[in-house]
Copies of this chain bind each other. A is one copy, B any other.
Amino acid sequence: MTSSEENYIKGIFHLSQGGQHSITTSALAEKMETKPSSVTDMVKRLAEKGLLHYKKYQGVRLTEEGAGHALKVIRKHRLWEVFLVDKLNFAWDQVHEVAEQLEHIESEMLVDRLDALLNFPEFDPHGDPIPDKEGRFKTREKKLLSAMPAKSRGICVGVKDSSSQFLKFLDKYHIELGNTIEVLERESFDRSMHIQVGKRKLQISHQIASNLYVKPQPE
C-alpha cells in the first residue's frame, strides 16, 4: 500500500468519525487537498483492493479491512508524536508534519518496540487516543469547553484544532493538557468566557473555547 493510499484511507476514517455513514467525493477532495476527479480515480483503486465500498455517485465507506488499516496508520502517527515530544523534546506544535512522514514506515517490529519504549501510551500529545495493536483505544468523557456551563470545572484533555497557531496560542497563555479549567462566567453576547486556570484568570473567545476539550469534573 502506497503512502498516498494510506493517506486517503486515513482521511476517510477521520471524516467517518464525524458520524457520516458515507463520505462524499467532494468532502474527501477537500480533506485531501486535491480535486474531486483525483478522488474518483483513487477510490476506484481502493475499492478494487477491498479497502472501501464505492458505488458511483453514492460516496464511500471503509470496509473492515480498510478501517483496520486506518487504525494502524493512526496508531503509528500518534506513537511517533509521543516519541517526538517525550524523547526528542519537540513542542506539541512541531510534531504533526514529521509524524505524517513517519506514519508510513513499514515495520511491525518497529511500531511494537516503539510502543514499549514509550510505555504503551494511551493518548498522544494532543489528547487523541492511541489504538493498541488490535486497534482498540480508550475513549474518555470529554466536552468542548464552549459547552460547559458557568461555575463548572473540567480537566483539559485535548484539542480539536491541532494547528500550530492554535497550539502556540495555548502555550502563550499557559494552558496545557492536565490543567483544571474553571468556567467563571459566560458572555452571551459574543460567547466569550472568563476562565481560571490554576491561579490565572483569563478571558477567551468562543473560537478558543470551541477547540478545547475538557473532562467535566463534579461540583
Question: A residues engaging B (CB < 8 A)?
Answer: 84, 87-90, 94, 97-98, 101-102, 105-107, 109-110, 113-114, 117
In the bound complex, how far is the Cα of B114 from the Cα of A89, in angstroms? Answer: 10
In the bound complex, how far is the Cα of B107 from the Cα of A84, in angstroms? Answer: 12
CB-based contact A107/B97 at 8 Å: yes
Across the interface, which residues of B come within 8 angstroms of A109, CB to CB?
Answer: 90, 94, 98
CB-based contact A89/B113 at 8 Å: yes
In the bound complex, how far is the Cα of B102 from the Cα of A94, in angstroms? Answer: 18
Across the interface, which residues of B come within 8 angstroms of A107, CB to CB?
Answer: 97-98, 101
CB-based contact A101/B106 at 8 Å: yes
In the bound complex, how far is the Cα of B87 from the Cα of A117, in angstroms? Answer: 7
Q: List 20 A-B contacts (CB under 8 A).
A: A84-B110, A87-B117, A88-B110, A88-B113, A88-B114, A88-B117, A89-B113, A90-B109, A90-B113, A94-B109, A97-B107, A98-B105, A98-B107, A98-B109, A98-B110, A101-B105, A101-B106, A101-B107, A102-B105, A105-B105
Give the Cβ gap from A73 to chain B, nearest Cβ, in Å: 14
Q: Output the nearest chain B residue to A87 by Cβ-Cβ distance.
A: B117
Give the Cβ gap from A113 to chain B, nearest Cβ, in Å: 4
Give the Cβ gap from A27 to chain B, nearest Cβ, in Å: 29
Across the interface, which residues of B come within 8 angstroms of A84, CB to CB?
Answer: 110
In the bound complex, how far is the Cα of B117 from the Cα of A97, in angstroms? Answer: 20
In the bound complex, how far is the Cα of B89 from the Cα of A117, in angstroms? Answer: 10
In the bound complex, how far is the Cα of B110 from the Cα of A101, in angstroms? Answer: 12
Give the Cβ gap from A22 to chain B, nearest Cβ, in Å: 34
In the bound complex, how far is the Cα of B109 from the Cα of A109, in angstroms? Answer: 25
Give the Cβ gap from A1 to chain B, nearest Cβ, in Å: 14
Give the Cβ gap from A15 to chain B, nearest Cβ, in Å: 27
In the bound complex, how far is the Cα of B88 from the Cα of A205, in angstroms? Answer: 44
